[in-house]
Structure 1
Amino acid sequence: MSALRIDVWSDVVCPWCYIGKRRLESALGRFEHADEVEIHWHSFQLDPTHPKGRRTPVFETLTRKTGAPLTQVRAMTRQVTELAAAEGLSYDLERAVSVNTVDAHRLSHLAGTHGLGAEMHERLLRAHLGEGAIVDDHDTLVRLGVEVGVPEDEIRRMLDGDTYTDAVQADFDEGRRYGASGVPYFVLDRAYAVSGAQSAGTFLSALRTARANATSANR
């Protein structure tokens, strides 16, 4: 049978997206047919209204968005940081800065043309959530892209223009057609949606169900 396709919509500034990514990977480590799985990463924005060029500390963004006092926001992010640590991730949300992520997503699309889309997405998540990197800064994006293996001249040329802007928008539109209103959002075999950073066990069950149904359909 053909590979089991998993489409994932994710934003590079989303703490739950990184946790969900690790939990999916944990499930795949226990999935009997992991070698038959293909993962396709897609762009999404947690806040598409965030103005390009505006850089705001994450705590300030969350305080304004939720209306909660800073003490409550700190407690909330501390809990997310602990959940991330349980998945082997190191968050430093005190240093994280909210930005518009279109350029970061364009970089992921460029990396995808070199077979490095997944690696680029991973690097951007770690940079924002764990390193306090400003992921709309062009020099930062060049540095991160080169680390992954994307040619520097291609990155700079892309950032100087609007290449892949349409592809990023197409990802947003496709995600909404599948029912994504937030991220992370996973669609298995173009038929089964898993919303949010579910447990590895939930992902494993969904993987087994999707494959069983695909196998039955091919008989």
Structure 2
Amino acid sequence: MGKKRLEDAINKLDQPVKVVYKCFELDPTSERDVNYSIYEKLSQKYGMSLDQAKASVANMIKMGNEVGIEYQYDTLILTNTFDAHRLAMYAKEQGYMHEMTERLLRAHYSESKHIGDHSTLIDLAVEVGLDGKSVANMLSSDEMSDQVRKDEQEASELGIRSIPYFLINRKYAITGAQPTEVFVNSLQQILEKDGPFIEEITENGITCDENGCEIPKK
């Protein structure tokens, strides 16, 4: 959702903006195959009841619908997302960063695909134009692992603990899935202060983890 609102805000600006996605795992200890639901996960993580978890997710679904995102949390498949991040980094090197990120997000949140499964990841990669055999070879190795860990180390050094997190010109931060107008106003203020964007706007996190962004305890 944060990604979509940022994109909508950028479309309202008459300025060139470069967006680069970085890796961030909300739960790097998660197993690849998980036998519990997103509601059970949120209940355990935030100490809320299942009903409270469902209410929080229902609110997120409503907000998603408002920006054209169809979340399917009832059938969402939780998994370890490290290999999905490796694929995103590989796609970045091949010039398919945005396409691969968007495809992973839609597969996870709207299509209930298992993005920890290598065959699923290969199929998604082929859809955006990557070579299936090359992707399969990458996934069967430890290729791109260092790149993922480097991003995660950078996030740790910056004190990032949740996503979405947007770092602008390496010195301004916008956290959370803020309304589009908040992004617009913030970007305009930065333009007035710094002039044209001198570096890149970075979303520190491919938001394809099981929670999306932090949900406050009720």
Please give the range of the TM-score, normalised by the shorter of the 2 chains.
0.7 to 0.9
Distance in 2 between residues matched to 1:157 and 1:216, nearest whole Å: 41
Q: TM-score, normalised by structure 2?
A: 0.85
Q: Does 1:172 align with 2:168?
A: no
* Partner in structure 2 of residue 21 of structure 1: 3
Provide closer, same or farther for how the CA distance between residues 43 and 141 of structure 1 changes in structure 2, counting only shifts above 3 A: same
Q: Does 1:81 align with 2:61?
A: yes
Which 10-residue stretch deviates more, 46-55 or 115-124?
46-55
**RMSD over equivalenced CA pairs, Å:** 1.8
> Percent identity, aligned pairs only?
34
Shift of 1:73: 1.5
Greater fraction of residues in helix: 1
- Look up the SS of the partner of 2:22 in the other structure: strand
Query: Does the 8 Å CA contact 1:24/1:203 hold for their aligned counterparts?
Result: yes
* Partner in structure 2 of residue 38 of structure 1: 18
Query: Does the 8 Å CA contact 2:96/2:128 hold for their aligned counterparts?
Result: yes
Which 10-residue stretch deviates more, 43-52 or 23-32?
43-52
Greater fraction of residues in strand: 1
Gaps of 5+ in 1: 1-18
Q: TM-score, normalised by structure 1?
A: 0.85
Shift of 1:67: 2.7
Q: Does 1:68 align with 2:51?
A: no
Query: Post-superposition, which runs of at least 4 consecutive aligned residues in structure 1 deviate over 4 A?
Result: none
Gaps of 5+ in 2: 199-218
Structure 1 residues 145-188: Cα deviation after superposition (integer angstroms, max 9, x where no partner): 11111110111001101000110011111122223111010011
Query: Does the 8 Å CA contact 2:33/2:78 hold for their aligned counterparts?
Result: no
Query: Does the 8 Å CA contact 2:31/2:80 hold for their aligned counterparts?
Result: yes
Q: How many residues align?
A: 198
Query: Does the 8 Å CA contact 2:191/2:197 hold for their aligned counterparts?
Result: no
Provide closer, same or farther for how the CA distance between residues 214 and 92 of structure 1 changes in structure 2, counting only shifts above 3 A: same
Shift of 1:217: 11
Distance in 1 between residues matched to 2:10 and 2:174, nearest whole Å: 15
- Look up the SS of the partner of 1:94 in the other structure: helix
Query: Does the 8 Å CA contact 1:55/1:99 hold for their aligned counterparts?
Result: no
